[in-house]
Amino acid sequence: MGELAEVIRGVTYKKHQVSEQPRDEHVALLRANNIQETITDESVVYVPLELINKRQLITEGDILIAMSSGSANLVGKAAQASSEIHATFGAFCAVIRPLGKKLSLYLGFFTTTPTYRQQAQASGKGIGINNLNKKALDNLLVPVPPIEEQHRIVQKVDELMALCDRLEQQTSDQLEAHETLVDTLLGTLTQSENATELADNWARLATHFDTLFTTEQSIEKLKQTILQLAVMGRLVEQDAGDEPATKLVERVKADKALLIKNKEIKAQAKLKSTHQEETSRKMPGHWVSATLDDLSHVQGGIQKQPKRRPQEHRYPYLRVADVQRGFLMACSDLPEFELFNDELRQYRLKEGDILVVEGNGSAEEIGRCAIWDGRVPNCVYQNHLMRVRPIVTNTSDYIALYLNSPLGINEMKRLAVTSSGLYNLSVGKIRSIPVPLPPLHEQIRIVQKVDELMALCDKLKERLNQANATRSQLAESVVEGALSA
């Protein structure tokens, strides 16, 4: 490279000399974040002209390079100036300035190739911070064809890149149209007014199943639609012989009152009126709307404090990261809390308990929950999780399914939003969540059907991933064959 171009290091400056806004006698200073596929002017700062050597002003054909980074993948990242830019560049960057205009386009193309990137990354390896220096750049090996061939190479690359851009845009447009079609057809299922209309809409969708569900996003949307249909009572047949849901609620309330009387659980403050109209409107007539407080006992977890440092009475505890939407992580190396007095009895998890995340930076992750399966004996949970313990254990699967459905997620988001725009759930808010409740035996049929359909979706996604991997391998083989020809 040193025989083909001049390497110019960037401007050194002090923090107090930098301005965030344009000023007289200042010039824009580019940094590594401005090196994308092209040179961008986003988030530039401004430094005094007096710090800059004229050779440090970027001219047409200059190739701006990141010389230092904590990431090896970013060292050597380069972009060429297609025109003169009234800007300079910082000390963590450099410019490769071709010695002749005839070389300019070819060298710009070369710095986008894997051959260049591999050399730059190998030369820039360091401990902590990866650095390229002028000597390393000068020593980079550049394959140089005759000048006429350089022009043909650059011209062919430009043609092929333009074709790739058109294909990318076409693919993007097709994906957008595909996702719109998927949304529309799945929407007809959840908006069906009765079983006959649902059957007709499903038949229309089934006719095009192979062409509709060809992306991971579309399969995930299908899963969400299945959950939505499940908690709307549209997924399984109703059985008049089932114990009515009203009887189930009465039995649960009686059992809960007995637990409180026997001091097995604590009585909690009476809830204010709850928002159940929307839930009631979307459910079948033989279902009932009950709050989580009607069906379970909700309790917060243990706060992490210095006194909890494990000593004599140490027990494992679950954290937010261990609870995902619909499943638990491995839980193989859990941290421990020190417990006191009767706390193990109070906070120990039982199989069938539902763990709910109280808050998360993402509105989509608020209230994600999973069922505890008893995999770790004498396990407790931290205060950023809340335990929902159904009074009737057989209702755990359905309640968790509802909380993780689009209807349940929207209800928790409605309850969780605060005046500051953050999302947070409290014990009281979780207790007040309305649940569209079918008879117990219907709950069991719903959960079984959802499990069957989710397994089919997972198989569909696996086949899709295998097909994509095969296509990628085939494309790589074709490209390798063409390059070695």
- Shared-domain flag, residues 182 and 271: no
- Shared-domain flag, residues 328 and 396: yes
- Shared-domain flag, residues 129 and 180: no
The answer as to whether 86 is a domain residue is: yes
The answer as to whether 190 is a domain residue is: yes
Residue 485 has pLDDT above 70, yes or no: no
- Shared-domain flag, residues 55 and 182: no
Residues 328-341 pLDDT 10s: 999 989 999 999 99
The answer as to whether 469 is a domain residue is: no
- When pLDDT is averaged across residues 318-330 and rounded to a whole number, the result is 94
Last residue of a domain, one of 144, 165, 181: 144
- Shared-domain flag, residues 79 and 10: yes
% of residues, the chain, pLDDT over 90? 46
- Shared-domain flag, residues 359 and 331: yes
- Shared-domain flag, residues 11 and 135: yes
- When pLDDT is averaged across residues 74-94 and rounded to a whole number, the result is 88
Residues 116-132 pLDDT 10s: 888 888 887 665 567 88
State the pLDDT at residue 168.
81
Quote the pTM value: 0.69
- Shared-domain flag, residues 391 and 252: yes
- When pLDDT is averaged across residues 226-251 and rounded to a whole number, the result is 92
The answer as to whether 485 is a domain residue is: no
- Shared-domain flag, residues 253 and 294: yes
The answer as to whether 415 is a domain residue is: yes
Last residue of a domain, one of 144, 171, 195: 144
- When pLDDT is averaged across residues 264-276 and rounded to a whole number, the result is 80
343-358 burial, b for 16+ CB within 10 Å, e for fewer? Answer: eeeebbbeebbbbbbb
The answer as to whether 470 is a domain residue is: no
The answer as to whether 189 is a domain residue is: yes
Residue 445 has pLDDT above 90, yes or no: yes
Domain with 170 in it: 145-206
CA atoms within a 13 Å half-sphere pointing along the CA-CB vector of 373: 10
Q: By mean pLDDT, which of 69-73, 187-191, 335-339 is the weakest?
A: 69-73
Domains contained in the chain, number: 3
- Shared-domain flag, residues 302 and 419: yes
The answer as to whether 362 is a domain residue is: yes
Last residue of a domain, one of 183, 206, 229: 206
Nearest to 375 by CA among 350, 400, 338: 350
**Where does 75-234 show beta strands of DSSP type E?**
78-80, 87-89, 93-98, 130-131
**pLDDT band for position 478 (50/70/90)?**
low
- Shared-domain flag, residues 342 and 277: yes
Ramachandran area for residue 409 (φ above 0: left; ψ -120 to 50: alpha; else beta):
alpha
- The more confident residue out of 479 and 140 is 140
- When pLDDT is averaged across residues 60-88 and rounded to a whole number, the result is 86
- Specify the CATH number for the domain of residue 387: 3.90.220.20
- Shared-domain flag, residues 118 and 166: no
Ramachandran area for residue 199 (φ above 0: left; ψ -120 to 50: alpha; else beta):
alpha
